[in-house]
Structure 1
Amino acid sequence: MGERTNVTGSRRFARLIKDDDYETALEVARDQVQGGAQIIDVNMDEGLLDSLAAMPHFLNLMASEPEIARIPVMVDSSNWDVIEAGLKTLQGKGVVNSISLKEARIYLENVPEGT
């Protein structure tokens, strides 16, 4: 699992995202794929970031890179809105990490049937 695209787990990645250097941050994801990662964990939970904007922006950049886009993504956040924004951005199936099941259950109970 590629865990270097996680602002809480990688100081380098956090600095790149805070500095709005998404191109170099994308290289972090690419390096993980080239290193054999079978899934890329993306986490933007950092108090000084607009996580709700950063998550879909970075996921869109990842999707535009064929080498990276072939690997599944784990949308990792403790904020349901960030998870939702990430899932809406993914072009395929994804995995969710770090969300409270209580919060997810409340959301899912309000989703209309068939959506």
Structure 2
Amino acid sequence: MKPNPLRLSGLEPLVITPESNFVNVGERTNVTGSRRFLNLIKNKEYETALEVALDQVRGGAQILDVNLDEGMLDSAAEMTNFLNLIASEPEIARIPIMIDSSKWE
């Protein structure tokens, strides 16, 4: 029996099968993994933060990991704001978004 593929979608579908050797996840939009991205979000430099996401997509990311959990941020508000900005950029929104957060309200 052939396993069912994993189907994800942004504006475009992404199908992952056992034959899919590698899935490229862009992780530079993660405040715990990128000091530059953290500073952009802290300083409300959203256009430049979007460029970080766009660079990941143009660099071949098939999924974009977004993490805005940081003690000095209003993480829920920043996540909502940044996801809305991503959704307004078709080149970024075409790939699936992985919401990476330990804070669910």
- TM-score bucket (shorter structure): 0.7 to 0.9
Paired residue type of 2:103: N
Specify the alignment match of 1:85 in structure 2: none
List gaps (5 residues or longer) in structure 2.
Answer: 1-24
CA-atom RMSD in angstroms: 0.5
Q: Could you tell me which residue of structure 1 aligns to residue 83 of structure 2?
A: 59
**How far, CA to CA, are the matches of 1:22 and 1:42 in structure 2?**
14
Task: Please name the residue that 2:35 is paired with.
Answer: 11
Bigger proportion of residues as helix: 1
If you compute each CA radius of gyration, which structure gives the higher value, 1 or 2? Answer: 2
Structure 1: tracts of 5 or more residues without a match: 82-115
Amino acid at match of 2:104: W
* TM-score scaled by length of structure 1: 0.69
1:73 corresponds to which residue? Answer: 97
* Deviation of 1:48 (Å): 0.4
State the match for 1:97 in structure 2.
none
Which AA in structure 2 matches 1:72? Answer: P
State the match for 1:113 in structure 2.
Answer: none
- Bigger relative contact order, structure 1 or 2, given CA contacts below 8 A and separation 6+? 2
Cα deviation per residue 1:28-83 (whole Å; 9 max; x = unaligned)?
Answer: 000000000000000000000000100010000001011001010000011122xx
Query: Residues 3-22 of structure 1, C-alpha deviation per residue, up to 9 Å, x if partnerless?
Result: 00000000000000000001
Q: 2:70 aligned with 1:42, yes or no?
A: no
Residue of structure 1 equivalent to 2:13: none
Bigger fraction of residues in strand: 2
Amino acid at match of 1:16: L
- TM-score w.r.t. the length of structure 2 is 0.76
Match of 1:28 in 2: 52
